Structure 1
């Protein structure tokens, strides 16, 4: 599932340029996917647990992240229901949600 998520994010990498932030998706199984839109080109990679400091960390299951990217899960509803938790910049998270929704 993580490989599918990586491929999908990489296919959308150009749309993340306007984000200009570093976002980490922390998945339930201890894995993480990083979208670093501070770099050109946008860097998208799988990573393990790290202690560095992204602008925003989104805690979500791989299944719900896939649903979010497919448009089957509304980001605001996921946040309200506790399926998605945000650490760091809420503004970056909201901008990212908008980009994923396109």
Structure 2
């Protein structure tokens, strides 16, 4: 999976995302995906803005998590994924990556 494919997939999934009043930033080696769920319709941009939750990882690791090849807890414990901010919000991210 490429950064663009991930970005497109997140943007498509965000169309059905609930209004959570929060934002998530995926800080990847390849770039940033910012998901703003504060409005009725979630917006996805590539702006590097402050977010309620920031997930720091790579496109490859996200692809492994999405496909089930990598366990989320193991990814965090091994340092492949770092989360700053609201951990509960990060757990809701899986729906946008499926």
What TM-score do the two structures reach when normalised by structure 1?
A: 0.77
In the alignment, the residues of structure 1 paired with residue 19 and residue 73 of structure 2 have an alpha-carbon distance, to the nearest angstrom, of 21
Equivalent position of 1:11 in the other structure: 12
Alignment gaps of 5+ in structure 1: none
Q: Is the 8 A contact 1:24 1:33 kept in 2?
A: yes
Match of 1:59 in 2: 56
Q: 1:8 to 1:69 in 2, by over 3 A?
A: farther
Give 1:16 deviation, angstroms: 2.5
C-alpha change, 1:7 and 1:70, in structure 2 (3 Å) is farther
The residue number in structure 1 matching 2:36 is 36
**1:35-84 Cα distance to aligned partner (Å, 9 max, x none):** 1111231111223xx3x421000001111122223333332221122110
Q: What CA distance in whole angstroms lies between the structure 1 residues aligned with 2:68 and 2:18?
A: 20
- Shift of the 71–100 alpha-carbon distance from structure 1 to 2, 3 Å rule, reads farther
Matched, 1:95 2:71: no
Taking only aligned residues, the RMSD between alpha carbons, in angstroms, comes to: 2.1
Q: 5+ residue gaps in structure 2?
A: none
Q: TM-score, normalised by structure 2?
A: 0.80
User: Counting helix residues as a fraction of each chain, which structure ranks higher?
Assistant: 1
